[in-house]
């Protein structure tokens, strides 16, 4: 019996909601078969933070590693999905379940992911929660919201806690159809030189039978 896969990625498309003022996703044909080319080739324009993506430490620290330099281990392996839909503005330490030794934790904050419109009021992760996860040995934090910090944050406190613990980040995941529990995460970033982030094709897969 094949292990079930949940695709937790957003579809990258021209009307993809992006951070206010950020680069819209665009795709332009450069060679087209309908114009006699033997192949179709296109060019993409997009924010590094489009859709489901992995932040590089470079995003929140000017001299920190780019996305091409980070080790890949955090982005694949056992993972805990947590239902954090009723936490209000911030996921606080008191909202954490027993992590059961999880090294990768994904937070679901939406009943239904807002595919059609940017959510400026998205739930964020309290800095104290990041610290509690780091103290528990977590190496990767993911969420369905577009940022660990509130949209109007200037201090970027959650990201700076991630930096202090050298944790890795996934944002913009789609967790609508994923029950809380244990999975295998696969969400590898592209090796983009000087990249402050990279889109990922993120999936969860049923764990193999014990």
Return binding residues: 19, 49, 53, 55, 159, 171
Tell me the two tokens of residue 116. Answer: 């059609």
Q: Which of the residues 19 through 78 are near ligand KYN (CB under 6 A)?
A: 19, 22, 47, 49, 55, 59
What is the contact mask toward Zn ion in residues 93 to 132, using x (rule: CB under 5 A)? ----------------------------------------
Contact, 12 vs 50, CB < 8 A? yes
Catalytic: 115? no
The bridge status of strand 181-186 relative to strand 168-171 is unpaired
171 binds ligand KYN (CB under 6 A): yes
Contact, 178 vs 8, CB < 8 A? yes
Least separation in angstroms between residue 167's CB and ligand KYN is 13
What is the contact mask toward Zn ion in residues 25 to 54, using x (rule: CB under 5 A)? ------------------------x-----
Least separation in angstroms between residue 196's CB and ligand KYN is 9
Which residues are part of a known binding site for Zn(2+)?
A: 49, 53, 55, 159, 171
Cα 148 from chain centroid (whole Å): 9
Rounded Cα gap, residues 84 and 87, in angstroms: 6
* 19 versus 206: smaller Cβ distance to ligand KYN: 19
Tell me the two tokens of residue 166. Answer: 């050298």
DSSP 9-76: -PPP-TT---STTSPPPEEEEEE-GGGT-SS-EEEEE--TT-SSEEE-GGGT-TTS--TTTS-SGGGE
Interface segment toward ligand KYN; rule CB under 6 A; list 79-87, 88-96, 143-151, 187-195: 143-151
Positions in the binding site for Zn ion (CB under 5 A): 49, 55, 147, 171
């Amino acid at each position: 019996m094949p292990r079930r896969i949940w695709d937790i990625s957003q579809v990258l498309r021209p009307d993809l909601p992006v951070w206010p003022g950020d680069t819209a996703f665009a795709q332009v044909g450069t060679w087209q078969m309908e114009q006699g080319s033997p192949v179709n080739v296109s060019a993409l324009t997009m924010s590094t933070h489009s859709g489901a993506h992995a932040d590089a430490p470079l995003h929140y620290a000017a001299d920190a590693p780019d996305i091409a330099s980070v080790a890949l281990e955090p982005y694949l392996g056992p993972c805990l999905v947590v239902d954090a839909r009723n936490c209000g503005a911030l996921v606080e330490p008191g909202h954490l379940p027993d992590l059961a030794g999880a090294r990768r934790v994904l937070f679901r904050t939406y009943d239904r992911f807002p595919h059609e419109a940017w959510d400026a009021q998205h739930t964020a992760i309290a800095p104290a929660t990041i610290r509690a996860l780091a103290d528990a040995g977590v190496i990767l934090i993911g969420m369905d919201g577009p940022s660990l910090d509130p949209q109007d944050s200037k201090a970027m406190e959650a990201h700076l806690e991630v930096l202090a613990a050298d944790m890795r980040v996934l944002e913009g995941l789609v967790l609508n159809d994923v029950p809380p529990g244990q999975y295998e995460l696969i969400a590898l970033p592209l090796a983009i030189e000087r990249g402050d982030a990279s889109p990922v094709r993120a999936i969860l897969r049923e764990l193999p039978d014990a």
